[in-house]
Amino acid sequence: MKKLLSKKNLAILLGVLLLYGVIQALISLGVLRTFHQVNLITICISVIMAVSLNLITGFTGQLTLGHAGFMAVGAYFSAVMTVKWGMYFPVSIFCGAVLAAVSGALIGLPTLRLKGDYLAIATLGFGEVIRVVLLNTKYVGGAAGLFGIPRLMNWTWVFFAAVITVVVIRNLLWSSYGRACISVREDEVAAELMGIDITHYKVLAFSVGAFFAGLGGGIYAHYFYGLQPGTFGFMKSIDYLVMVVLGGLGSVTGSILAAVVLTLINVVLQQFSAIRMILYALLLILIMIFRPQGLMGSKEASLELFRKLGRRSGHGSLGSK
Amino acid sequence: MEQFYVFLQQLINGVSLGSIYALIALGYTMVYGIIKLINFAHGDIYMMGAFIAYFSVSYFHLGFLSALLISMAACTVLGVLIERIAYKPLRGATRIAALITAIGMSFFLEYVMVFFVGAQSRAFPNVLPALRIEFFGGKVFITGKELLIYGVTLFLVVLLQFIVRKTKTGKAMRAVAFDREAAMLMGINIDYTISATFALGSALAGAAGVLVGIYYSAVNPLMGMTPGLKAFVAAVLGGIGIIPGAALGGMLMGLIETFVIAYGQSTYRDAVAFAILILILLVKPSGILGTNVREKV
């Protein structure tokens, strides 16, 4: 208990509650209008997706290009449960996430024997198969999409879902499970020789990552009224992968930072809709050429890091934790 | 008998589509073989090839052959430029950083084209004399377009095989793909060899673009995305890094897709391609023509 209530943890808790409180107050006062709220929710969903993908790709070293596929599973299943079976929505979102985790394990067991780019292509294939199956399933609306989902999500739900995702994944990574996952990334053969069951940890990372991707999908479904199979295509997976790589593979805070920054950049670029994608593409290329390890590398933003930065450049603020 | 005619006709269509996939897959497999990068921009080089041919035919009224040659030359330059500007600085970085750069390059080419020519499809003018050879009393037929696709593909594949097997540059390519450091120690110019690989691959993609423009009579800036992915799948199917494998994989991919459209549901065409990919990867990850490499510790 002493450790749990350390100064550092209390400071973080306070910071998180403060962030929530300030934004909730601004929403209640009507300062942040629907436009801002949509972007805040999108940021939180991006954080959930990027952190969960970082667990798979950044920490366990398994490159996957099908993360949006898990998101689709969670989104569609939870939407069907809420709309067609009349379930209470937290239950349906949770069930959607569980189903995504199960599909993650099912996909993971056979495909995780593959390495590197082969795994990437297999997961890409999986994501596309899910999309096409949804496209052809009449029950969930097919190509037209599934509509009429009530907007049951609000800032409170989504913010705390994101916080819980980050806390769970962070604690998982800082446990013996996390160390085992990192050892799989560093050297599979060496890890195996040390008695680590590689497949076990890969599947674990895959299903936990898929669970939170499913959660992100469920939230998406219950905020944006409708779902279309095209939303969860290859491009969506790439969007989240870009966040992970940009933030730094193996840095939770990096993923959060990149999710916030990239979502905001997208919002800003919307004003220049004609050249939005060109600028986005150039940004990607330039960042990768000049900083291939991502914004944070494998470091975590911490009070220590701020102190160091502060000593060097007067002050350095990197936004929210 | 009716069934048999349908089958033959689909076979003819499938080989046309397969030839185009094969041409794109060859570039993928060569680039992957030499720098282990999934060059996502490759599909967009193919799109650029189609557009360059479109402009040379509709604005400069050139014939098929000159349009093809101009496209191939322009794509060669484009491919080498992309490699020099975007991929070369990342040769020492992680593979995932290079992958993201390739994706960025792909977006860049696509949306620059959307910006300049608009996202809508444009009709590719007809440059070939109408030719239609009929068999079995017109139940099965082959058009001039298809013959042209077969001919150009066959010629280019044989030419590529010749370059890779018989010339000094080809030998250098194979050496660099096999062991880059050893090749460097033997005095092979790595930069030049990698550029040559991109040049060849991009020229083939350009040719594929022209052929697809002629075959479907339409071009648009986002046409490269799906065929690009499928061609990569084809390269994996045949065994990535293996040139005959890419040709075989592309051909199979085209045939499978055509038959799924003909006998199954056309909306499932993409899913079937990827499902086959997953199956192949599970059974034989090194691809049809690949050999298993034992892992050394």
Tens digits of per-residue pLDDT, B9-60? 888 889 999 999 999 999 888 888 888 888 889 999 999 999 999 999 888 8
Asked if the model's pLDDT at residue A318 lies above 60, the reply is no
DSSP B126: P
* Å between A70 CA and nearest CA of chain B: 16
Q: Which helix (H) or strand (E) holds B141?
A: strand B140-143
**pLDDT at residue number B238:** 86
Tens digits of per-residue pLDDT, B159-206? 998 998 899 999 999 998 888 889 989 999 999 999 999 999 999 999
Tens digits of per-residue pLDDT, B243-253? 888 899 999 98
Place A304 in a pLDDT band, splitting at 50, 70 and 90: low
- Between residues A315 and A27, the one the model is more confident about: A27
Minimum-distance CB partner of B96 among A121, A125, A249 = A249
Please, which residues 167-226 of chain B have a Cβ atom closer than 8 Å to chain A?
none
**pLDDT at residue number A321:** 36
* Å between B66 CA and nearest CA of chain A: 31
Q: What percent of chain B has pLDDT over 70?
A: 98
Mean pLDDT of A201-223: 91
Place A47 in a pLDDT band, splitting at 50, 70 and 90: very high
**pLDDT at residue number A312:** 57
Tens digits of per-residue pLDDT, A133-183? 888 888 887 778 888 888 888 888 889 899 999 999 988 988 988 899 899
Query: A148: which 2 tokens?
Result: 């009429």
Place A85 in a pLDDT band, splitting at 50, 70 and 90: confident
* Å between B96 CA and nearest CA of chain A: 8
How many whole angstroms separate alpha carbon A240 and alpha carbon A237? 5
Asked if the model's pLDDT at residue A248 lies above 60, the reply is yes
Chain B interface includes A241 (CB < 8 A): yes
For B123, phi then psi, to 5°, come to: -80, 130
CA-nearest of A210, A212, A125 to A168 is A212
Which 3-state string (H, E, C) describes chain A?
CCCCCCHHHHHHHHHHHHHHHHHHHHHHCCCCCHHHHHHHHHHHHHHHHHHHHHHHHHHCCCCCCCHHHHHHHHHHHHHHHHHCCCCCHHHHHHHHHHHHHHHHHHHHHHHCCCCHHHHHHHHHHHHHHHHHHHHCCHHHCHHHCECCCCCCCCHHHHHHHHHHHHHHHHHHHCCHHHHHHHHHHHCHHHHHHCCCCHHHHHHHHHHHHHHHHHHHHHHHHCCCCCECHHHHCHHHHHHHHHHHHHHCCCCHHHHHHHHHHHHHHHHHHHHHCCCHHHHHHHHHHHHHHHCCCCCCCCCCCCHHHHHHHHHHHCCCCCCCC
* Å between A83 CA and nearest CA of chain B: 26
Please, which residues 235-264 of chain B have a Cβ atom closer than 8 Å to chain A?
236, 240
Please, which residues 119-158 of chain B have a Cβ atom closer than 8 Å to chain A?
none
Query: A292: which 2 tokens?
Result: 């291939």
Mean residue pLDDT across chain B: 86
Tens digits of per-residue pLDDT, A261-287? 988 888 888 887 778 888 888 888 888
- Please give the domain boundaries of chain B with CATH numbers for all domains: 2-283 (1.10.3470)
* Cβ-contact A125, B274 below 8 angstroms: yes
Q: What percent of chain A has pLDDT over 90?
A: 17
Asked if the model's pLDDT at residue A5 lies above 90, the reply is no
Query: B139: which 2 tokens?
Result: 């139940």
Tens digits of per-residue pLDDT, A104-139? 888 888 777 777 777 887 888 888 888 888 888 888
**pLDDT at residue number B185:** 92
Tens digits of per-residue pLDDT, B258-270? 888 888 777 777 7
Please, which residues 278-307 of chain A have a Cβ atom closer than 8 Å to chain B?
278, 280-285, 288-289, 292-293
Tens digits of per-residue pLDDT, B68-78? 999 999 999 99
- Please give the domain boundaries of chain A with CATH numbers for all domains: 34-313 (1.10.3470)
* Cβ-contact B127, B64 below 8 angstroms: yes
Residues sharing a CB contact under 8 Å with residue A86, sequence separation 6 or more, in sequence order: none
The two beta strands, B132-135 and B140-143, are antiparallel
- Between residues A289 and B72, the one the model is more confident about: B72
Complex prediction ipTM: 0.80
Place B272 in a pLDDT band, splitting at 50, 70 and 90: confident
